[in-house]
């Protein structure tokens, strides 16, 4: 192990001692928000420090076994121990490097997922509904809770736009790489001559802002419109102006919500979506500036990027960012996204590891 990496783990051991002392302070314990944050850091640092201690122990085991090689009676046993220790050191070294990778603090957050129809008319809207279903099924498999914040249906039953709020463990961390352009190649149901059409949708995944970190919205910069809800809803539809549309005038960003009968609750939900969109705009602008100097393997998540193609005639899914091709299209669309997400996370980790090693 390089000295620079070893020094990072030694600094973490010192940090663990600091956290032990801080968490024992009654003043800190009385501030539950700070205490929870420090407790999460303590758990993470403690795990890394204990892993490094196992690494150091196996280094000592290896040195002891190498000394025993000179003893004819112990050489066979020593050789076996040397091989086992070397294997453990290789595995622990890789795990320790991964543990040092920078973690996006937003990864553990809930997320808003926006799916919008793009080029392709009604077929694009139908594909948007397929993507929404894919995310709903994936969320169901993970045990996440999903709430439809807003939706706009097309004439054939697809979505012109749908915004989901997904709540659960590491939602944003799992879905963050879904942001971008999704392209479908298939024969539409409206196609009479059997020709394959290409349509597209855009997906944007945004972390739900922490209440303490939310963007401060100036009421003077907001235009709030009320209108009557449309779509399913029985007698309630078109009888009260409960739906809310909020426009952020400086940026032109719009958010709306109409799924609740309470105008007050719809306003609160629309404000939450608007806040997330404003934070995502700031995040995207920062990412674009960073990409100008160093383009990432996964990309910036820009919505204009074509990140993935769903080819129905071949049953093929291709993620263009990492050249991943799977012939399990229908399973993926049924919510089996785990292999795709794991590959994207692995590619990002490999890029971070390369940067870590080059700077070590």
Residue 293 has pLDDT above 60, yes or no: no
Per the document, the length of the chain is: 360
For 338-356, what is each residue's pLDDT tens digit?
999 989 988 888 887 777 6
Q: What is the pLDDT of residue 53?
A: 93
* CA max distance for the chain: 93
pLDDT at 319 exceeding the cut of 90: yes
Neighbours of 128 (CB within 10 A): 29
Low-confidence winner among 4-13, 52-61, 131-140, 191-200 (lowest mean pLDDT): 191-200
Residue 201 is predicted with a pLDDT of 92
Domain ranges within the chain, ordered by starting residue = 3-100, 111-349
CATH dotted code for 111-349: 3.30.70.1660
Q: Give pLDDT, residue 3.
A: 81
Q: How far apart are CA 125 and CA 188, in angstroms?
A: 11
Q: Which class is 3-100 in CATH?
A: mainly alpha
The yes-or-no verdict on residue 229 having pLDDT over 80 is: no
Q: Is the pLDDT of residue 208 over 90?
A: no
- Residues in Cβ contact with 358 at an 8 Å cutoff, skipping those fewer than 6 apart: none
Check residue 218 and report its DSSP letter: P
pLDDT band for position 301 (cuts 50, 70, 90): very low
Which residue in 289, 149, 152, 263 sits closest to 206, CA to CA?
149
Q: How many CA atoms lie within 13 A of 285 on its CB side?
A: 6
Compute the average pLDDT of residues 175-191. 87
Mean pLDDT for the stretch of residues 288-310? 57
**pLDDT score, position 94:** 81
pLDDT of residue 218: 79
Cβ partners under 8 Å of residue 290, min gap 6: 300
pLDDT band at 31 (very low <50, low <70, confident <90, very high): confident
Higher pLDDT, 244 or 293: 244
Say what the pLDDT of residue 241 is.
66
Given this chain, do its domains 3-100 and 111-349 carry the same CATH topology?
no
Q: Per-residue pLDDT tens for 57-106? A: 999 999 999 988 888 888 889 899 999 999 999 989 888 877 777 777 77
Can you give the pLDDT at residue 351? 80
Q: How confident is the model at residue 128 (pLDDT cuts 50, 70, 90)?
A: very high
User: pLDDT grade, residue 236 (50/70/90)?
Assistant: very low
What pLDDT digit, counting tens, does each position of 105-119 carry?
A: 778 888 989 999 988
Sheet holding 253-257, edge to edge: 222-227, 243-248, 253-257
User: Angle, nearest 10°, between helix axes 3-23 and 32-68?
Assistant: 140
- The confidence score (pLDDT) of residue 87 equals 93
Neighbouring C-alpha atoms within 13 Å toward the C-beta of 127? 28
Q: Which residue has the higher pLDDT, 207 or 193?
A: 207
DSSP sequence for 293-326: H---SS----TTSEEEEEETTTTEEEETTTTEEE
Mean pLDDT, residues 26-52: 87
The overall average pLDDT reported for the chain is 83
Residue pair 312/328 in contact (Cβ under 8 Å)? The answer is no
Higher-pLDDT residue of 305, 21: 21
Q: What is the mean pLDDT of residues 202-208?
A: 88
Residues 241-263, mean pLDDT to the nearest whole number: 81
Is this prediction's pTM over 0.75? no
Please compute the mean of the pLDDT values over residues 311-331 and round it to a whole number. Answer: 94
């Amino acid at each position: 192990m390089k000295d620079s990496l070893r020094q990072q783990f030694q600094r973490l051991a010192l940090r663990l001692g600091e956290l032990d002392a801080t968490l024992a302070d009654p003043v800190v314990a009385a501030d539950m928000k700070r205490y929870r944050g420090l407790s999460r850091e303590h758990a993470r640092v403690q795990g890394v420090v204990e892993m490094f201690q196992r690494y150091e122990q196996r280094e000592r085991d290896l040195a002891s076994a190498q000394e025993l090689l000179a003893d004819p009676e112990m050489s066979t046993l020593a050789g076996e121990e040397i091989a086992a220790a070397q294997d453990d050191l290789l595995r622990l070294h890789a795990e320790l490097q991964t543990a040092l990778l920078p973690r996006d603090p937003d990864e553990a957050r809930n997320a808003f997922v926006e799916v919008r129809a793009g080029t392709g008319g009604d077929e694009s809207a139908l594909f948007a509904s397929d993507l929404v279903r894919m995310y709903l099924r994936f969320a169901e498999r993970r045990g996440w809770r999903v709430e439809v914040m807003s939706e706009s249906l097309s004439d054939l039953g697809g979505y012109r736009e749908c915004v989901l709020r997904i709540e659960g463990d590491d939602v944003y961390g799992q879905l963050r790489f879904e942001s971008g352009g999704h392209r479908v190649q298939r024969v539409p149901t409206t196609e009479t001559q059997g020709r394959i059409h290409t349509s597209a949708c855009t997906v944007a995944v945004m972390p739900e802002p922490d209440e303490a970190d939310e963007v401060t919205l100036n009421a003077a910069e907001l235009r709030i419109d009320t209108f009557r809800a449309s779509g399913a809803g029985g007698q309630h539809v078109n009888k009260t102006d409960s739906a809310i549309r909020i426009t952020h005038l400086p940026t032109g960003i719009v958010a709306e919500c109409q799924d609740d009968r309470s105008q007050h609750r719809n306003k609160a939900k629309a404000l939450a979506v608007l806040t997330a969109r404003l934070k995502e705009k700031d995040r995207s602008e920062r990412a674009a500036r960073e990409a100008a100097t160093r383009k990432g393997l996964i990309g910036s998540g820009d919505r204009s990027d074509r990140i993935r193609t769903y080819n129905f005639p071949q049953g093929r899914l291709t993620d263009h960012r990492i050249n991943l091709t799977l012939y399990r299209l229908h399973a993926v669309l049924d919510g089996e996204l785990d292999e795709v997400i794991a590959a994207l996370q692995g590619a990002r980790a490999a890029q971070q590891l390369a940067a870590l090693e080059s700077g070590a």
